[in-house]
Amino acid sequence: MGEQPIFSTRAHVFQIDPNTKKNWVPTSKHAVTVSYFYDSTRNVYRIISLDGSKAIINSTITPNMTFTKTSQKFGQWADSRANTVYGLGFSSEHHLSKFAEKFQEFKEAARLAKEKSQEKMELTSTPSQESAGGDLQSPLTPESINGTDDERTPDVTQNSEPRAEPTQNALPFSHSSAISKHWEAELATLKGNNAKLTAALLESTANVKQWKQQLAAYQEEAERLHKRVTELECVSSQANAVHTHKTELNQTIQELEETLKEKEEEIERLKQEIDNARELQEQRDSLTQKLQEVEIRNKDLEGQLSDLEQRLEKSQNEQEAFRNNLKTLLEILDGKIFELTELRDNLAKLLECS
């Protein structure tokens, strides 16, 4: 049945800068559809996002992956197989939380699927190791090769099926019969390489380093084959990609129209603010002119007040001099009155004596 989408959302896609490992580089100019896919034939979960016909996210969920919320609307996870860190910017915190819940759910499902696969491999490898010379095509568990690090050692399903983990531009569509035949030939070649690699491991543990070098070459070959399969899948998926691109363009146009409407409303609001600012400027100019007139008048009044103060001081001085003169005249008058009184008394005495 191939891969089927089980959950979709929209977000802005970013990848970590491969040079600085710090800055985010946007891989989509606008919000695109980001979907979880489930491949029932291989029992794996993947996160896939297309920008037109280009796959900007193709990440297989493994049990040791972690989705981290770095803000209310942004989350990220590291994919060591793709040698990058993906970041998603959502329109709301609710969409981010929903995506993180699905990530945890499918991560747990991938862990259970891996445990079941390892149990099957152990059951398959036990009789193969007891046979004479061993079965060169029996699967090996990651623990028997290179510890439990899932990022360094590929799973058995990856060794036995080269299409297990495409790293970029992989699209969930069925292959044509010609592609299948070509793939079977390449699969046979890979099985031969796997058999040689297994035989070398069983012969001597002292050749582990050499085996790792051969494994690295095998992984490069598998990566090259994955890219070739991806190119063939892209050719067969043009029609569906165009339809998806058209849908995304319609959604983008709708978003742009809403944004344009918001901008027009903002422009109207700014125009009103400009008109209000002009009125305030006119009022300010009028008040400034009145203030200047008041300041001029205030200066005139200050001059008049200064003159009045001088006149008042002069008047006070004149009044003080007048009072002093009046006081002197009163004293002289009192002396004269006293003299006249004495003269009257003397005249009266003379009259009485005569």
The distance in angstroms from the start CA to the end CA of the chain is 171
Closest C-alpha to 235, from 186, 174, 161, 181: 174
Q: What is the pLDDT of residue 173?
A: 38
Q: Architecture of domain 5-118 in CATH? A: Roll (2.30)
Residue 140 has pLDDT above 80, yes or no: no
pLDDT in tens, 57-101: 999 999 889 999 999 999 999 998 888 999 999 999 999 999 999
Q: What is the pLDDT of residue 141?
A: 37
Residue 289: both structure tokens together = 């002119």
- Please provide residue 28's backbone torsions phi and psi, each rounded to the nearest 5 degrees: -135, 140
Residue 221 has pLDDT above 80, yes or no: no
Residue 297: both structure tokens together = 């008048």
pLDDT in tens, 150-168: 333 333 333 333 333 333 3
Q: For the chain, which residues make up each domain, given as ranges?
A: 5-118
pLDDT in tens, 286-326: 899 999 999 999 899 999 999 999 999 999 999 999 999 99
Instruction: Indicate the length of the chain as a whole number.
Output: 354
DSSP annotation string for 102-146: HHHHHHHHHHHHHHHHHHHHHHHHHHHHHSTT--TT----HHHHH
**What residue type is assigned to position 240 of the chain?**
N
CA distance 176 to 182: 10
Q: Residues 1-16: what's their mean pLDDT?
A: 86
Counting residues of the chain whose pLDDT is more than 90, the rounded percentage is 39
Residue 337 has pLDDT above 80, yes or no: yes
Map tokens 């699967």 to a residue.
139
**pTM for this entry:** 0.37
**What residue type is assigned to position 324 of the chain?**
N
DSSP annotation string for 252-304: HHHHHHHHHHHHHHHHHHHHHHHHHHHHHHHHHHHHHHHHHHHHHHHHHHHHH
CA distance 63 to 107: 5
pLDDT in tens, 189-206: 777 766 766 766 777 565
Closest C-alpha to 137, from 198, 211, 79: 198
> Any idea which of 108-112, 216-220, 328-332, 334-338 has the lowest mean pLDDT?
216-220
Residue 32 has pLDDT above 90, yes or no: yes
Which has more pLDDT, 178 or 137?
Answer: 178
Q: What is the pLDDT of residue 37?
A: 93
CB-CB contact of 319 with 312 (8 Å): no
> Any idea which of 237-241, 250-254, 258-262, 280-284 has the lowest mean pLDDT?
237-241
Q: What is the pLDDT of residue 96?
A: 94
Residue 220: both structure tokens together = 């490069």
In degrees to the nearest 10, what's the CA dihedral of 318, 320, 324, 327? 110
The helix/strand/coil state of 251 is helix
CA distance 34 to 13: 9
Closest C-alpha to 164, from 63, 78, 60: 60
Residue 240 has pLDDT above 50, yes or no: yes
Query: How far apart, in Å, are the Cα atoms of 114 and each of 24, 39, 89, 187, 303?
Result: 32, 14, 30, 22, 100
